Structure 1
Amino acid sequence: MSPLLELQSVLCANTRATKGKVSAPPMAVSSSPILSLLLVSTHAKLGSSSSPSLSLINFSSRPTNRPSSSSSVVVFSYTESGQGLASKDKKLLLERYGFDADVFLSQPSSKSRRGKDRLKKGREKQDPPEEPKPPRTTHKLLQVLGGRARRKKLLSPKGMDVRPMMEVVKGAAFDILQAAGGCPASLRPGRWLDLYSGTGSVGIEALSRGCSEVHFVEMDPWVVSDVLSPNIKWTGFLDVSVIHTVRVEKFLERAEQFVGNTGPFDYISVTPPYIEVDYGILMGQISKSVLLGKDSFIVVEYPLGTDMLESCGCLVKITDRRFGRTHLAIYGPEWAQKKRRSR
């Protein structure tokens, strides 16, 4: 007798043995080589309990080391344990009739596969793929206001990724600095540090008006390569410019690593994105930095509603002006404040 027929006979016997305890469904055996279906009860062989349940075993009617043209046997078994067949019982049953239990027990059921497929499709519907962002582009809306590169157009990004200082604010800042330095026609010669430089508009204006060197600090690589660097090259200040592609906080923490022992800067401009900066922390970090000297000037652009201190380190506030929703504060040495007041 073949293993399949022997298994059928044993299962039929189990069904008769448990008659009266658990009502077993009628047994149906398909003669098709594709599928044989057995509905049996296994109470007599595999444990007992108070409530019947249904367990399912799928396996081939031939050992797994034979060619793939085998039938399938699906065994539904009712037990009173409420848990169905235990794993060890399934393994013993399969091995008894010449089947590879490890292979069959490791295969997921078609029901679980369907459930996973439905879950995957549901997640795909809930989380649609993100659309690729449009490429960033530039336009020429800015210009140099004074000095050697006056009226030269500068690139700036379209949109609000980078928010350059308004030209009216920039013009006022340089007029105040020139007057405080004692030379209304141009800036005192010196080195400029342009923090959050973006387009480089402020630093390039400083070079155009007489500064000897500018260090630009900008963290966005695209802005550096497609906006800042072309602007510096176009205005002719490539030889006196240094670009640091790094976060401002990191630059201030490791100032000597980036600029060496060249001493403090004569000018520092701070034009950050408003909502991403804590001005109290930022100005405190600048006031303690080796980049700041007793004769330095600091230009700070900040939004309406922000409280700025009356001093920054050894420097005092020279002016604080409002342009709509934008404020401009300039800190400098006490001698510059006295000179401006006298004027």
Structure 2
Amino acid sequence: MRIIGGYFKGKKILVPKDKETRPLKDLTKESIFNVLNHSNKFKVNIENSIVLDLFSGVGSFGIECLSRGAEHVTFVENYSGVLPILKKNLSNLKITNKYEVIDQNLLSNFNFEIILKKFDIIFLDPPYKEKKLNSLIDNIYDNKILKNNGLLIIHRHKKEKDQFSKNFKILEQRQYGISKILFGTLN
């Protein structure tokens, strides 16, 4: 797995040996960034953006944002089998002031109030079988951490039949292989 664009293009991203984590495939990642760059349904500029990468795993989405000029990325991950790999991937970039890692469980009453930023992009990539997405979306909405013109991106398995919170408005949806990507905003 590699960084596919920007300043760190071609740099390798380490992945875990176990199968508990599902790193974002390069094709899916490339497709997400193509939509971000070319959609006429929303305008989000990665360059100089503030990004929140939830269920970060090895950090491939957030690292790609850093490579493409994001101002800052906050990674939230707590799985002990992948957290050291995420930190190693970030230290390999040799930048320190453009990111932070929060080691907390998002599904156990995560308190978004500890995050003192508002985000241009929030990427939500939970385990495919996770069903508590609406409480996370509502928590994001209630804490007003997504900017008014910000974008919430959700990565799911294409066969999942999620019923999303009324606070999430889907602007665009794409399928790539077994993945489905939802681009939306919060009402």
Alpha-carbon distance in 2 for matches of 1:265, 1:249: 20
Contact 1:268 1:299 in 2 (8 A): yes
Question: Which among 116, 128, 142 is matched to residue 288 of structure 1?
Answer: 142
**Structure 2 matches for 1:18-57, cutoff 5 A?**
none
Contact 2:59 2:75 in 1 (8 A): yes
- 1:221 positional shift: 3.2
Residue of structure 1 in register with 2:152 after alignment: 298
Residue of structure 2 in register with 1:153 after alignment: 12
Residue of structure 1 in register with 2:94 after alignment: 236
Question: Which among 92, 96, 103 is matched to residue 245 of structure 1?
Answer: 103
- 1:310 positional shift: 7.6
DSSP-derived class of the 2:97 partner: helix
* Count of aligned pairs between the two proteins: 185
- 1:308 positional shift: 4.5
Question: Which among 164, 167, 184 is matched to residue 331 of structure 1?
Answer: 184
Contact 1:312 1:331 in 2 (8 A): no
- TM-score, length basis structure 1: 0.49
Long gaps (5+) in structure 2: none
Alpha-carbon distance in 1 for matches of 2:50, 2:124: 15
**In percent, how many aligned pairs have the same letter?**
25
Q: Which has the higher contact order (CA 8 A, sep 6+)?
A: 2
DSSP-derived class of the 2:15 partner: strand
Is 2:146 the partner of 1:273? no
CA RMSD for the aligned pairs? 2.4
Alpha-carbon distance in 2 for matches of 1:154, 1:174: 17
DSSP-derived class of the 1:171 partner: helix
- TM-score, length basis structure 2: 0.86
Alpha-carbon distance in 2 for matches of 1:279, 1:286: 11
Contact 2:171 2:185 in 1 (8 A): yes
Residue of structure 1 in register with 2:171 after alignment: 318
Residue of structure 2 in register with 1:25 after alignment: none
The letter of the residue matching 1:232 is L
Alpha-carbon distance in 2 for matches of 1:196, 1:172: 19
Q: Larger Cα Rg: Structure 1 or Structure 2?
A: 1
